[in-house]
Amino acid sequence: MRNSLLLLGVASVVLTGCQKHAQIDYTALDQSGMWSSTLDEVKALKPSDLEITQLTKLKHAGASDDFCLALLRAARAHKHEFSNADSAMDLSRAGYSDAQILEMAQSDQIDILSGDAVMLKLIGLSNTTVQEIMHRRIVGLPTLTSEQIGRLKNTGMSEKQILEVVNQGLSEQQAETLIAQREAVRNHSNTGFVRVRGRKTH
């Protein structure tokens, strides 16, 4: 009985050791088209299975080797796994450059910023304006949300005027007050009395 328990204990230790030293499967990433030199750099960072999956997803979406490696390193610089492939792809599809996406990743805010960043593009703002707004968010300056900017645009405010408001660094309360005032003026201008002429009765 004692010998059986001893063997069981040895087997458990061996199994645990094997699990700790389990080999990462790089096959999918290798088949995604990543250059062997870049793959070697990825391996040197000892990526997890999750990170391999994320990088493979990026490569299949058309991301460059340099971009994939830069995103992985940005996550590691903040001491966590790279798990932001979907956010990076959403931003890329919305028209953001690799450099802009990487700036968000290096600030460790890519998941936080991506939804709003995509909405700013859908609102129809120019690349220059969007870049300025996003830079303010990345460095932590007070900035209107994409929803607030969309509401201002719907009141007839020009892109230049919107950017001027953004650069004022309004608080949430100040921004909402301004938007409400403009919406009230717009709504009032659309409620003018219109006389309806009917047919005369004889």
The pLDDT score that the predictor gives to residue 179 is: 95
Find out whether 85 and 95 touch, Cβ atoms under 8 Å. Answer: no
pLDDT less than 70: residues of the chain: 1-22, 190-202
DSSP 118-171: HHHHHHT--HHHHHHHHHHHHTT-----HHHHHHHHHTT--HHHHHHHHHTT--
- Within a domain: 184: no
- Within a domain: 42: yes
Find out whether 163 and 193 touch, Cβ atoms under 8 Å. Answer: no
Range of the domain at 84: 36-110
Task: Note the pLDDT tens digit of each residue in 117-150.
Answer: 999 999 999 989 998 999 999 999 999 999 999 9
DSSP 15-34: HHHHHHTPPP--HHHHHTT-
With b for 16 or more beta-carbon neighbours within 10 A and e for fewer, the 7-32 pattern comes to: eeeeeeeeeeeeeeeeeeebeebeeb
- Within a domain: 153: no
Give dist(CA 5, CA 8) in Å, integer: 5
The pLDDT score that the predictor gives to residue 100 is: 92
With b for 16 or more beta-carbon neighbours within 10 A and e for fewer, the 111-122 pattern comes to: eebbebbbbbbe
- Within a domain: 187: no
The whole-model pTM stands at 0.76
Q: How far is CA 85 from CA 33, 91, 111, 122, in A?
A: 17, 10, 10, 21
- Within a domain: 61: yes
Residues with Cβ within 8 Å of residue 31, at least 6 apart in sequence: none
Q: How far is CA 92 from the centre of its chain?
A: 9
Domain count, the chain: 1
- Within a domain: 195: no
- Within a domain: 138: no
